[in-house]
Structures are given as C-alpha cells and as structure tokens.
Amino acid sequence: MSKKVSPSILSADFANLEKEVKAVAAAGADWIHVDVMDGHFVPNLTIGVPVVASLKKVSPLPLDVHLMIEEPEKYVEAFIKAGSDYLTIHVESTRDPAAVLKRIRELGAKPGITLRPRTPVEDVLPLLPLCDLVLVMTVEPGFGGQSFMHDQIAKISKLRSEISSKKLKCLIEVDGGINAETAKLCHEADVFVAGSFVFGRNYAEAISILKK
Ligand code: DX5
Ligand code: ZN
C-alpha cells in the first residue's frame, strides 16, 4: 500500500487556510492534519472547533484531527459535529480512553489513539481494536519544527507486529520531525504527518518524496 501524507496545517499560513488546504490537496496530499492544543495538556494554544468547521467547508480531503487537550470527552462531540473524519486522542489525557474511543465511533467519526514519547507503547496496545488509527509521536507534542526522536521508531515495529498478529485494521501514523530522511526510518508506518517539511518547500515535491 502506498503511503498517505497528512500535511499539518500548524505550519501553514493561518491567514490563508482555504488556499493552503486546496494547494496541498492539489499537490497530492491524502488528509489534512489539524493540531488542536489547549495550553494545558501541551504548553501551546492553537485552534478549536470553529476553525475545524470552517476547514470542513473548503477541504476536499478528510480532516485528521489530533486533540492535544485535557478531558477530550468534553469536546469530541463538538469536533465531530464540526466535521472531523479521524479524531485522535492522547491516552494520557483522560481516565477512560476506551470509553472516549467508543463514543467517537458512535458519533460517526474514526477513532485514533496516540501517546507522548515518554509513554510506553504497551499503554495503547489494548485500545487498538477500538481504533482506526494509532499515532506515534516522534517529538514532544506542542510545536512544529522540532527534531525527530529516533528512540520512538521501535514503537512503530511493535505496533506493526501487534496489528498483523491480531489481524487489526488500524493504520499507523507518525507525527513529528518527518522529512525525506526520517520518513525512510518509519517505513512500517502507513501515514506521514508533516508540517514544516511540506509547508517549507514546493508542496508537490515534498509530498511525492514522502510517498516514496
Ligand atoms: C506537534 C504536532 C505536529 C506538528 C508537526 O505537536 O502534533 O503535528 O505540526 O510538525 P513538524 O512536521 O514540523 O514536526
Ligand atoms: Zn499532530
């Protein structure tokens, strides 16, 4: 299966999001990655529900929404009503991640689970049957443009063997410091999130490099 690319609009021009989303779609992107931060779970504030709703109106691609917020259970319904296709929560952000993942599916979106670099991959394994997506963070969540953490690659292999041995349908996505070199190291992943790498150069060129 060829790799999917989900450009992170955190590195896009926020004054021209419609133009940016259409440009990466025309350049061959598969999904649009939307980083939602609350200033508590991570030390940064980004965008919320109204921006997702506005993106939904103009995006030809599915919205891959990454919630870096505490108590995601309070907000999943609003993010799904706004048009999130994939909705990913952090395993550390809530007491009962399984309940939140089930709720996301009931509300009609595709549930995803993710983990911080310091969280052991074992914490997400029991949740994989509830998910369409598992996201491996290869930087500390909070900001674009950070360096790839090589010590996270082993999590991708562990997830790949768990998914194949249990015949699960979960896609593996990787997020943080992805570029031409680091994407090669993550060849067992299905989806590459990339912010600064895509928005920092010719979009079509960047996306075609990641797809190879
Ligand atoms: C970081 C975000 C990432 C970020 C990736 O917390 O989850 O999606 O935008 O940016 P790059 O690709 O620049 O590391
Ligand atoms: Zn992200």
- Domains of the chain by residue range: 4-211
- 30 flagged as catalytic: no
- Tokens (6 digits) for 183: 């994407």
CA distances from 85 to 40, 62, 133 (A): 24, 6, 11
Annotated active-site residue in 35, 38, 64, 132: 35
**CA 89 – CA 104 distance, rounded (Å):** 10
Beta bridge mates, 63 = 32
Strand intervals (E) in the chain: 4-7, 32-37, 63-68, 86-90, 110-115, 133-137, 171-175, 191-194
Please list the pLDDT of the chain residue by residue as tens digits (212 residues). 789 999 999 999 999 999 999 999 999 999 999 999 999 999 999 999 999 999 999 999 999 999 999 999 999 999 999 999 999 999 999 999 999 999 999 999 999 999 999 999 999 999 999 999 999 999 999 999 999 999 999 999 999 999 999 999 999 999 999 999 999 999 999 999 999 999 999 999 999 999 98
Residue 5: strand pairing partners: 192
- 147: which 2 tokens? 């360096």
Given the CA of residue 10, which atom of ligand 1 is nearest to it? Answer: 9
Name 203's Cβ contacts closer than 8 Å, sequence gap at least 6: 7, 23, 24, 27, 29
pTM score, whole prediction = 0.98
Non-local (6+) Cβ contacts of 212 within 8 A are none
| Rounded-to-integer distance, Cα 116 and Cα 62, Å | 24
Instruction: Enumerate residues lining ligand 1, CB below 6 A.
Output: 8, 10-11, 33, 35, 66, 139, 141-142, 144-146, 175-178, 193-197
Judge whether 165 and 183 are in contact, CB under 8 Å.
no
Ligand nearest to the CA of 142: 1
C-alpha 72/C-alpha 33 separation (Å) is 17
Respond yes or no: is residue 175 known to be catalytic. Answer: yes
Which residues are CB-contacts of 81 (< 8 A; sequence separation ≥ 6)? none
pLDDT of residue 169: 96
Q: In angstroms, rounded to a whole number, what is the distance separating the alpha carbons of residues 44 and 61?
A: 26
Rounded to an integer, what distance in angstroms lies between the CA atom of residue 153 and that of residue 150?
6
Architecture of domain 4-211: Alpha-Beta Barrel (3.20)
Helix (H, G, I), strand (E, B) or coil at 178: coil
